[in-house]
Structure 1
Amino acid sequence: MAKHLSTHGWTPIIIRAGDEHYTEVLDPDLARLVPDTVQQIKTSAFPASIARRFGIGDIGLRAYFQIKDAIRLAIEKERPDVIFITGSPFYPLLLSGWIKKKFGLPVVLDFQDPWVSAEGALRPKLSKGALAHQLALTLEPIALRHADFVTSVSDRQNEEMANRYPWLDRSRMAGIPIGGDPADFEALRASPPQNPIVKLEAGRIHLSYVGTFLPKAGPLVSTLFEALAQFRSEAPELANRLVLNFVGTSNQPNGVGTHLVSPLAQAAKVDDLVREVPQRVPFLEALHILANSNGLMLIGSDEPHYTASKIYPALMSGTPFVSMFHQASSAHDILSRAGGGFSHSFETLDQLKALRPILKQNMRLFAEGKVELAPPNPQTYQDYTASSVAGRYASLFDEIIA
């Protein structure tokens, strides 16, 4: 979004922790997609080696006070019109109250993921995850009290937030997805990955899923694997041409040993046709997989609110897809209108299981090389390109300062 704001009349200044303070493996190709014309202020942070002795690893906590000081200096020097804070990490959202009281500037809080989530509520008691959930329940309303406007990736996520806090002004909330940038594929063509972590071997039909695998996606993936097992029982030679790749399922750059999909494949007895790479791959390699697979698997969860930001780069890649989302998910609506793939939906688990015959037929078409679909209609995702998303935020900022 930042690189497109200037075309809509706004000049962004990014404040973030310096590269050396992150414990994750960095992605320099992703960083290079942000042009040098975008000003970035990089802060220090408390060393992870010390902070972890106290159970703190979150960069939003380790750099909290340094970011706060950088915001103060930037306000004094640059005189910005709006402060925009996005999470995760979520803890910097708490700076909203200080900014309002000290400087009187409007603050927009953006939730790329839910801070308070149904998944967090299911964490075992006394676990670190349960503690984080309790902190979220306590801290989220404190941050929201001082927001002039709240955005998240979907209207449904905003609705759930507003239901938790009846004092929130729903007219000061908007669902704005993360979107995707067609220019990223131009960068991919100019600089394809030289030593990719995931190699799409010639001679096989590759169906690929790229992104985090959430527990609520389990029933959907199990249904897909059951359909694959049925397909192989009917046409083993044909089915054995397929490879189902699940890449980046742990969302961690070092998540090599955390297999979440493989046990489901083993249960369905199709693990020899499924390859899981838990490790998060670099951004351009992820786009490379989207663009060069024979087909994509776009899989949501059994929750109606799920909105997958990953669908936009998938549509922009032009690769045929098989999608599975709850009927009420905005992702299903967008994919159905876009075309370019096989879009499936359900409301109940029984309806989900009833998808097995059509999923089996979809996989047969891929294995036979008979998928003949027009590419997705660009008009259906035009509003979700990075430039359009930047334009929506620019209009929001204009409204706030009017």
Structure 2
Amino acid sequence: MKKLLIISPYFPPSNAADMQRIRMSLPYFKEYDWKVEVVTVAPVYSDFVKDDQLKESVPTAIKIHEVKAFSKKWTSKIGLGSIALRSLWFYKVYVDKLLKKQHFDLIYFSTTQFPVLILGAHWKKKFNVPYVIDMQDPWHSTYYEDKSKTERPAKYWFSYRLNKYLEPIAMNKVGGLISVSQAYLDTLVGRYPRLKEIPKQVITFGAFKPDFEWAKNKVKERYPKEEGTFNFIYVGRGGHDMKAALILLFRAFKKGLTHQPEQFNKIRFHFIGTSYAPQGQGIPTIKPLASEMGIAEYMEEQTDRISFYDSIYTLLTADALMIIGSDDPQYTASKIYPYILAERPLLAFFHPESSAAQIIENCNAGTVISLIESKDLTIEKVYDYLLNASTYKLLPPEINWKSFDVYSAENMCKNQCELFTKVIQASN
């Protein structure tokens, strides 16, 4: 069997979105003739919500290596809280020793903790091991360059310049690319012409049905549910790039309060886990907008993240679901499959070129609202949807499961392995 070394700073029990592709692929690598080992950062150094139940989905035969990281308690004093920066040196030292002792055919970086990716070039030069990068998000992005300072992420000035410097180091030696979006690949090829010649493929996140069986053991709902109300649930991050979608939703709702107050007064919106900040330190980005528009009493925002299986249980018990997407056409959503598998009425806001929008439409899994159509037209569509919700006329979608099976975690693992083989062949 070929040997694959996976670099994933976050790993169960840490409930981080960027480790989900690996977690869901691990049961299937052996089937495609790959023996896998994972190098992650020890959970004690992670500030993400922990979900011990996530560990139960990891095959016991998979060898997990843990590296240390500098304590965030001390690094945050100089503004460096990223687990990638805190663990970079420890990754280098540990994997250097590992590669001296063992042969691996390929190294696979699957993470949005981008600074660790530069180690791929180091290991390629020192040990001649090719590496593949999984681009789940853009690394060096210009998306916020024309945005106001208030809309930019924290420490944007530093991260923008760091990313601009580090990205070429990783891309100049990479042997293959996987991405959740063709747009990400196109951007990278435009910057680094050598990437035209290497194996690369769009592979979306996978759907892992076993998660739903485990989640059904939960007995506690994670949002207040008033009798006689109709509850829309969103579990996921907030952010200023979602403002366009939220304005459409809130304007349609305000219209309903004006024209059909008896019906729309029944609706409640719940936004859960909207910040990546440590527990109790998140800054709301959604409720302030609702307050500005005079509808704060109809919605709740919980910035603290909840465990992975609590989030699935919450989706299963919702009256209806909503996905608040970005107006960026490159945006994709790792959380899209749990929303579909929950089989609840689904209202999603995306740029129509987003892969998430296309997946929902291909599977007939919900209603997608375009973020680039006429505002008056889209507000009317959202208004009609909310009116049907308030009169309990929404029905679960008739999902096209044949189309959905294309996105299974097993099939996505197969696609990854096929690309790995191409990279090894190209490097020989």
Question: TM exceeds 0.5?
Answer: yes
Aligned to 2:110: 86
> Are positions 1:358 and 2:385 aligned together?
no
Going from structure 1 to structure 2, the CA distance change for 1:385 and 1:193 (only over 3 Å counts) comes to farther
Aligned to 1:107: 131
Q: CA deviation at 1:123?
A: 7.2
Aligned to 2:183: 156
SS in 1 for 2:207: coil
Aligned to 2:288: 263
Q: Alignment identity in percent?
A: 27
> Are positions 1:192 and 2:218 aligned together?
yes
Aligned to 1:29: 53
The one-letter amino acid of 1:364's match is: L
Residue number among 393, 398, 401 corresponding to 1:370 in the alignment: 393
Aligned to 1:391: 414
Distance of 1:78 and 1:202 partners within structure 2: 60
Residue number among 120, 127, 130 corresponding to 1:96 in the alignment: 120
The one-letter amino acid of 1:115's match is: W
Aligned to 1:47: 71
Structure 1 window deviating more from structure 2 (326-335 vs 134-143): it is 326-335
Distance of 2:416 and 2:382 partners within structure 1: 38
Distance of 1:163 and 1:400 partners within structure 2: 20
Q: CA deviation at 1:171?
A: 4.9
What does residue range 3-402 of structure 1 map to in structure 2 within 5 Å?
A: 3-121=27-145, 122=147, 124=149, 128-169=155-196, 171-189=198-216, 191-192=217-218, 194=220, 197-254=222-279, 257-348=282-373, 351-402=374-425
Distance of 2:328 and 2:280 partners within structure 1: 25
The one-letter amino acid of 1:381's match is: F
Going from structure 1 to structure 2, the CA distance change for 1:373 and 1:142 (only over 3 Å counts) comes to same
SS in 2 for 1:88: coil
Going from structure 1 to structure 2, the CA distance change for 1:324 and 1:47 (only over 3 Å counts) comes to closer
Q: CA deviation at 1:156?
A: 1.1
The one-letter amino acid of 1:220's match is: A
Q: Indicate conservation of the 8 Å contact 2:172/2:192, yes or no.
A: no
SS in 1 for 2:246: helix
The one-letter amino acid of 2:193's match is: P
Distance of 2:406 and 2:78 partners within structure 1: 44
Going from structure 1 to structure 2, the CA distance change for 1:220 and 1:71 (only over 3 Å counts) comes to same
Q: Indicate conservation of the 8 Å contact 2:287/2:300, yes or no.
A: yes
Distance of 1:295 and 1:170 partners within structure 2: 45
Distance of 2:262 and 2:197 partners within structure 1: 55
Distance of 2:187 and 2:116 partners within structure 1: 21
Distance of 1:237 and 1:193 partners within structure 2: 32
Aligned to 2:14: none
**Which consecutive unaligned segments of at least 5 residues does structure 1 have?**
none
Going from structure 1 to structure 2, the CA distance change for 1:34 and 1:199 (only over 3 Å counts) comes to farther
The one-letter amino acid of 1:366's match is: A
Q: CA deviation at 1:107?
A: 0.5
Going from structure 1 to structure 2, the CA distance change for 1:259 and 1:162 (only over 3 Å counts) comes to same
Q: CA deviation at 1:81?
A: 1.1
The one-letter amino acid of 1:216's match is: D
Distance of 1:257 and 1:43 partners within structure 2: 27
Q: CA deviation at 1:256?
A: 5.1
Q: Indicate conservation of the 8 Å contact 2:238/2:274, yes or no.
A: yes
Q: CA deviation at 1:353?
A: 3.8
TM-score by length of 2: 0.87
Q: Indicate conservation of the 8 Å contact 1:209/1:245, yes or no.
A: yes
Encode CA deviations 1:345-399: one digit per residue, 9 max, x unaligned: 2435xx1342111111101111111113443212223222221211111111122
Q: CA deviation at 1:312?
A: 1.6
**Which consecutive unaligned segments of at least 5 residues does structure 2 have?**
1-24
Q: Indicate conservation of the 8 Å contact 2:47/2:278, yes or no.
A: no
SS in 2 for 1:12: strand
Distance of 2:127 and 2:269 partners within structure 1: 53
Q: Indicate conservation of the 8 Å contact 1:41/1:70, yes or no.
A: no
Aligned to 2:6: none
TM-score by length of 1: 0.92
Q: CA deviation at 1:69?
A: 2.4
Distance of 2:287 and 2:77 partners within structure 1: 33
Going from structure 1 to structure 2, the CA distance change for 1:200 and 1:253 (only over 3 Å counts) comes to farther
Q: CA deviation at 1:3?
A: 2.8
Q: Indicate conservation of the 8 Å contact 1:17/1:44, yes or no.
A: yes
